[in-house]
Structure 1
Amino acid sequence: MSAHRFKLVMLLCVALGAVPAIANDLESAQNQFRTGKYKAAEAVAFAAVESGIWNERWPRLLIQCQLEQGKYAEALQTYDTAIRRYPTSMTLRLLGLEAIRFNNLSERSEEERKRFFQLLQSSPLRFASRDSLIAAGRYFVDEGEDARQVLEMFYDRVRDSNPDFLEAYIATAELALEKGDYKVAAETLAEAERIDDTDPRTSYLKARAFESSDAKVTAAALQQALELNPNHIPSLLMLAELALDRELYDDAKSSIAQVLKINPSEPDAWALQSVIAHLEGDPKREQEMRRKALSTWHENPRVDYLIGSKLSQKYRFAEGAAYQRRALEFDPDYHAANFQLAQDLLRLGNDDKGWTLAKSVAEDDPYNVVAHNLLTLHDRIKDFSILEAGDIHVRMDPEEADVYGEAVLELLTEARATLCEKYDVQPDAPIMVEIFPEQKDFAIRTFGLPGGAGYLGVCFGRVITANSPASQGERPHNWKSVLWHEFCHVVTLEKTKNRMPRWLSEGISVYEERMRNPTWGESMTPQYREMILNESLTPVSKLSSAFLSPPSALHLQFAYYESSLVIEFLIEKHGIESLKMALVSLGDGLSIDDALTRSVGSLDRLDVEFATYAREKAEAFAPDADWSREELPTETTTTELAKWVDEHPENYWGLRSLAEAWITEKQDEKALPLLEKIVELGAVTPERDGPLELLADVYQRLGRAKREREIREQVLAISSDALPSYRRLIEIATEQNEWQQVLEYSEQMLAIQPLQPFGYQHMATAAEQLKRPEKEVRPLKTLLQMDPIDPAALNFRLARAGFETGDTALAKRHVLAALEDAPRYRDAHRLLLEIVESER
């Protein structure tokens, strides 16, 4: 058929109403594109465009196919032809702008952006199509305009008039994700799934929305996206990023290779290759990969932004900041790079520049949720106290600083002296420690968003953020253990120039906790024993992935313990010098595999020897106990379980399950021998509400104070945060007038929880009874800051203690304060007379 005859036929078809057939062809081609059959969709679209069908969706689809495959020159040619035919199409112009950029036509790109805006000005938006409104919204987002106005004027407007138009939801979710509003993104994507659950973009964006909060949802959504479209480039790139985060570089390279088969010029793929090269210590290849990422668009700011942000995720903040500055050289208004640079500076301890830049981003981009959160936090903490001891600077709530700020400085000073000497490190810049009384503030400072439950502290290098005991409820973790752990990170990150895998960093910190205090850090538990012997041990070379994708909270805790066990093994077998040699090699740019090979030998042998070491540790834990679970009955009555335990009297799981069941049924007499048997078998751990604590509670309820006291002493010997046992031991010792014991227990309790009055009250009373006024002063001063019921009495006691220690100024100040609250306080009047008399 001649071309002339073909056109006549097409015109006739249109005249006779045969458009649905063409529409069906378009829908079929669009579905091919959606499912990753880019070449097939391109062929159909090319034929339609060449045939001259009057429908701008055909050239749009063809350009999309060409852009997706990196055929940037062809995409630009298609655009140049199409835009002459459809000069008012904003959607087409937006695609053309992308094609122009990736043909490295910077001047024309600028002209096209201006032309797009001129078109918007000349075409009243109230008459615009839904496609044009979405395109206009995306244009303004790219221009850095107020995101909330974009939502209101464009995306919301389309959703209100066309509630089933998927593209409006996709655009809204993209914008929400860009601004860190994951809640809005998730809600929008739920609506998008209701409209159409076959578009891979929806699943991919859902994976991004839940990436920082729910690993299981993220994995499922990403899998769904790739089932819908195995060639979906954003999803494949996300797979590569997740593998990179887990230090599974071969897996990351495999996903990147899939992307490059589809689009050999994909800039994000080459940028991620550059990141991997950096992490593998290959600077030459790093720059080569960066050049490839910029080969089609020489001034693409996203390339350096992506490289820098991924390096910052690996705690390479100085290198990350350098890349953000490169991105800003290409585009000074690139908000993502500006804000990432602000966060990098804050994590490098450069607060002045960091906060200034964060404020600038928040003002320019008011919908940036993370920036808004940071600025709100800055307003809340600007009045924090700053305590200093040499190059250690501690920022904390003023009231908390008065209570235990001095103890914080003492601990950090000790950590600096001990750990810096041990690892041959001398930090050459101040170390900032920030302690937050509210968990949400800690999370915002650390992660940018509320959340982060389970994190007690984080170290970025020379900046530590930590939760104070006030943020952790009735039974906080031992703050000294937390700060010792985090300061150890300061030391090892300094030694390696932040170039170390997470497992190694965490392993050393947990190990050093145990070295400082045997009750600190992770230790063997029945669950850990089972995981080691059931082949749940992660190979040393893949330990970092255990931190980033744990199946449960227990698996994450086990990753900390296993990592510390690796360090213990390395030091026992090869010595501390070998470990320090590996850290130096990491700082020189070697990969962890090469660093370990150089310092301890074959990695394969290391994996085998460590597995043997771990199994021996596990088997040595309560070796006489029966640890099998195979025959343990489930969903059975207490009576039936008791019968089974009679037949298996040394089975740990049976003993524990039955003891807990009897306690639930308030049958303490029956639970008692079971818990005693567990202790006899040596299967005791510092876990909260574990067998040892349960046994102490049973003895308490049965009124057997002597045995309760013995067991609670055992709890203290292995637990770093046994506040309930400290409280009870203080009560028991008080009842028996054992004031020296009360004093010691109170001091130990306050080392864990310095923000509750109980410990201070008993410490002051014990010191008074022991006639040790010098020990009364501190607890009485602290109690006065805790909104006491009777401040006059406390002021009088403090005045008397001050007078007895010879501090008449303190004594006079507080006796006058007592009289101010209670003018007829006779004992205070008498004390004041004594003070005045002593000054004559």
Structure 2
Amino acid sequence: MRYLLLALALSLTSHAATWQECRGLEKHGKDATACYTQLTHTSDPALRAEGFWGLENYQQANAEFRDAVASPSSGAAVRVRWGLLFHERFNNPEAVNLFNEALAKDPNYAPAFYGLALVSADGFDGRAPQYIAKALTLDPKSAESRELAADMAFENSDFDTAIKEADQAIALAPDALDAMAIHAAIELLNDRSPDAWLAKITAINPKYGEGYARIGYHMVQNRRYTDGVSYYRKAVEVQPRLWPAHAQLGINLMRLGQQDEPEKELQLAYDNGYRDAATVNSLRLLDSYKNFQTFTDDTTILKLNKKEAELLQPYFSAELHRAMAAYEKKYQMKLKGPVQLEVYPDHEDFAVRTMGMPGLGALGVTFGQVVAMDSPSGRKPGEFHWASTLRHELSHVYVLSATNHRVLLPVAELDRGFIYPQYPAQVIVSYFQGGSICDYIGERWGEGKLLEIVHAYAKLTPTPEVIQTTLGISAEQFDKDYMAWLDKQLGEVVKNFDPWRKQLTELAQHAKSKDYAFVLANGEKVKALYPQYIGDANAYQMIADAQLAGGNKQAATKVLVEYEKMGGHEPATLKQLATLEEEAGDKAAAAATLDRLNYVYPTGDEELHRRLGTLFLDLKKDDGAVREYNAVVSLHPLDVAGAQYNLAKAYMAKGDRAKAEEAVLAALEAAPGYRPAQTLLLQLHNGGAPAQPKTN
């Protein structure tokens, strides 16, 4: 009623409005145009700025704020408001500058800390909780700060704190609509009806799309993408001009593997001035899809860049199907639809897919049954094992499906490491901790218990109860036992880390000066201090080089095999191992080593595929030979005739005469006088028998 009377007063009288009243009208679903227009005619540039901001004339609002701040009497408040405008219009660096300027004017100005918390939360910066805590210490009665604190606690999966802060916001401001939306989202995540809270929002403002958008945001953050899309749809339905919701609807439809509707929604947001980085980059990514080739079958959709599709398709398709078969057996289920795998040679395109999502891996990401990842060509050779990344992301697909997207992280601290990391690389530490917990459970209780835990989380069973019922011990005892196990696994490595680092440096210096006697005398000791280290300048490679310098190829082979078993996959090192194995007469081992390299870095390496093709041909593994020689051809080698001839030989060995003839003709087209190809063509025309010399 208050805002209805205010709207009436503004239309009939000369009531002098404040910007807070204008915002209040808008929040309650009333037309605030007259209110904002009135502000634009005042003598105060700060109020004029608020008026133009409300009328969506952002450039003029910016100009008015600049004039307001130029006044010697301007204080912290106008700087914070200007900063919030910059934040709303996608310029967080300028917003931070203004919030800091406000604090220079008044070090205890709570709204400035609120602004810093808002910007930090945007980037999942670990300082965000500190900023909002400071804001609430200075002004505990700020409903806006309470709502932000509730939002951040929700992101951290701290539902109790989120509810507490949301309730305090509502107690301070009965129209705290975002706090109500947080309540509704928590109900949804717990498979309870949100209707009571949605009714409260609707009673205050039936056109409050921001509430539905906030629910959609939290559904997405909890990997419930389909639910997120549904609530973003509701947001734009009740508030059609809510351009951020249109953009997020488009982005999340993209995450579900769609293309046409996302482009429509994103373009609509862009055309109406909503041009944040995620919107702009997503439109560019959609435009780049014309450069991709799609391969489909009954269970998979594989999207590869055209420039490398011919090379990568056999490897990615085979690994995708192999991994799916393994997970179907492990999780005792089949997916309801196809898995879509997108492989990006440009890391920046992949990064667009992860924008606005905390704690996601730097190499791959999963959205429901859509997996996006870097192509091996987008990284330095050997920088990552693409097949391992694919399998890791695909495991998320199955776990999310098995739990109906209700999977929870078992340890709260791990979740916080993913969302608001407190130190560099905490996300990596959280991934390691999560993985090691699974290793511990599998080792002590068996892999079957992990499946039981997944099913328990699908029922939203609390973690302590899950541990008690599936593992038979209390959560406290589990923590104690796990830490003891982890200490046993890594305690010696941690204790020896400083001596290892010092001794490895010394070993590297002697290796560089070719003091191989020192390397052989000390290398094994250094390696034993930290056997898991397989990065640059590792002891394995130094010992192998020293053994080779002394002519001991067998010992060098042994240490390089250890290196690979420990997870080492540097391409040059594995090629060296394959050479040693082949020289020792073990072609099967050499082929296996080179084949494993295909799952690390198959791109741009003619030598790898040519060598492996020859080995496979010698070993009568004809399908493998065809695959490898096809890979050579796809790389457009200088020796086209030789590449096509080798491919023809592989097809011939396989018994595919039609393909063999096709390849040999391609060889002769490239080099008409190429004698080996001429001979093979004659052999093909003679029914496979070698051509007979003519006699007089």
TM-score by length of 1: 0.71
Contact 2:49 2:60 in 1 (8 A): no
For 1:269-668, list aligned pairs within 5 A: 269-281=179-191, 283-284=192-193, 286-447=194-355, 454-501=361-408, 503-504=409-410, 540-552=411-423, 554-571=425-442, 579-600=450-471, 605-619=474-488, 628=495, 651=496, 653-664=498-509, 666=512
- After TM superposition, the structure 1 stretch with the greater mean CA deviation from structure 2, 695-704 or 779-788, is 695-704
CA contact (8 A) 2:143 2:170 kept: no
Cα separation, partners in 2 of 1:756 and 1:188, compared to 1, 3 Å: farther
User: Structure 2 matches for 1:774-785, cutoff 5 A?
Assistant: 775-785=624-634
Residue of structure 2 equivalent to 1:60: none
Which among 35, 44, 49 is matched to residue 134 of structure 1? 49
Aligned to 2:20: 95
**Aligned counterpart, 1:788:** 637
Cα distance 1:776–1:692, how it changes in 2: closer, same or farther (>3 A)? same
Q: Name the amino acid aligned to 2:54.
A: Y
Aligned pair count reads: 681
CA contact (8 A) 1:773 1:805 kept: yes
Mean CA deviation greater in 549-558 or 721-730: 549-558
Distance in 1 (alpha carbons) for counterparts of 2:482 and 2:365: 30
Cα offsets for 1:777-801 (capped at 9, x unmatched): 3222212222323323323333344
Letter matched to residue 50 of structure 2 = A
The runs of 5 or more residues in structure 2 that have no matched partner are: 692-696
The amino acid that maps onto 1:653 is D
Name the CA shift for 1:835/1:620 in 2 (closer, same or farther; >3 Å).
closer
Corresponding residue for 1:68? none
Distance (Å, rounded) in 2 between the aligned partners of 1:655 and 1:589? 45
Q: 2:281 & 2:273 partners in 1: Cα distance?
A: 13
Q: Which amino acid aligns with 2:503?
A: L
Name the structure 2 match of 1:814.
Answer: 663
In 2: Cα distance, 1:482 partner to 1:802 partner: 32
Look up the match of 1:241.
151
**SS of residue in 1 equivalent to 2:405:** coil
SS where residue 390 of structure 1 aligns?
Answer: coil
CA 191–672 in structure 1, closer or farther in 2 if over 3 Å, else same = farther
The whole-number CA distance in structure 2 between the counterparts of 1:547 and 1:695 is 36
Are the counterparts in 2 of residues 345 and 354 from structure 1 also a CA contact under 8 Å? yes
Q: 2:554 aligns with which of 697, 701, 706?
A: 706
Q: Which digits, 9 at most, give the CA deviation of each residue in 1:644-679, with x for residues without a partner?
A: xxxxxxx55314422323424646544544431244
Offset, 1:441: 0.8
Matches within 5 A, 1:73-222: 73=2, 92=17, 94-101=19-26, 104=28, 106=29, 109-110=30-31, 112-113=32-33, 116=36, 129-141=44-56, 150-156=57-63, 158-159=65-66, 163=70, 170=80, 173-178=83-88, 180-182=90-92, 185-186=95-96, 199-213=109-123, 215-219=125-129, 221-222=131-132
Structure 1 counterpart of 2:148, one-letter code: M
- What is the CA distance between 1:351 and its match in structure 2? 4.1
Aligned positions of 1:222-233 closer than 5 A: 222=132, 225-226=135-136, 229-233=139-143
1:266 aligns to 2:137 (yes or no): no
SS state at 2:599 partner: helix
2:549 and 2:43 map into 1 onto residues whose CA distance is 80
CA contact (8 A) 1:203 1:224 kept: yes
Deviation at 1:726? 0.6
CA distance in 2, matches of 1:414, 1:774: 17
Q: Deviations over 1:710-750 (max 9, x none)?
A: 11100111216343431221343456675444322211211
Q: By how many angstroms is 1:684 displaced?
A: 1.4
What per-residue deviation string (whole Å, max 9, x for no partner) do you get for residues 234-265 of structure 1?
44333322222221223333433443453344
Letter paired with 1:747: D
Out of 688, 699, 706, the residue aligned to residue 535 of structure 2 is 688
Q: Distance in 2 between matches of 1:786 and 1:456?
A: 24
Q: Tell whether the 8 Å contact from 2:126 to 2:420 is kept in structure 1 after alignment.
A: no
* Aligned-residue CA RMSD (Å): 3.8
The alpha-carbon distance between structure 1 residues 173 and 699, as it changes in their structure 2 partners (threshold 3 A), is: farther
Does the 8 A contact of 2:113 with 2:135 survive in 1?
Answer: yes
1:498-551 Cα offsets, whole Å, 9 max, x none, are 1111x35xxxxxxxxxxxxxxxxxxxxxxxxxxxxxxxxxxx354322332344
Other structure's SS at 2:598 match: helix
- The Cα shift of 1:187 comes to 6.1
Q: In structure 1, what is the equivalent of residue 646 of structure 2?
A: 797
- Residue deviations 1:78-103 (CA, integer Å, cap 9, x gap): 8988998855x6xx36433333355x
Alignment CA distance shift 1:817-1:188 (3 Å): farther
- In the TM superposition, what is the alpha-carbon distance from 1:493 to its structure 2 partner? 1.0
Q: Using the TM superposition, give the Cα deviation of residue 423 of structure 1 relative to its aligned residue in structure 2, in angstroms.
A: 2.4
Tell me the amino acid that sits aligned with residue 330 of structure 2: K
- Match of 2:342, SS state, is strand
Any conservation in 1 of the 2:523–2:543 contact (CA below 8 Å)?
no
Write the distance in 2 (CA, Å) between the matches of 1:324 and 1:814.
53
User: Which residue of structure 2 lines up, in the alignment, with residue 648 of structure 1?
Assistant: none
TM-score normalised according to structure 2 size: 0.85
| Amino acid paired to 1:406 | P
Output the CA distance in 2 between the equivalents of 1:707 and 1:328: 68
Which position in structure 2 is the counterpart of 1:728? 576
Radius of gyration: which is bigger? 1
1:413 partner amino acid: H
User: What is the one-letter code of the residue matched to 2:531?
Assistant: V
User: Following the alignment from structure 1 to structure 2, what is the Cα–Cα distance between the partners of residues 464 and 330?
Assistant: 32
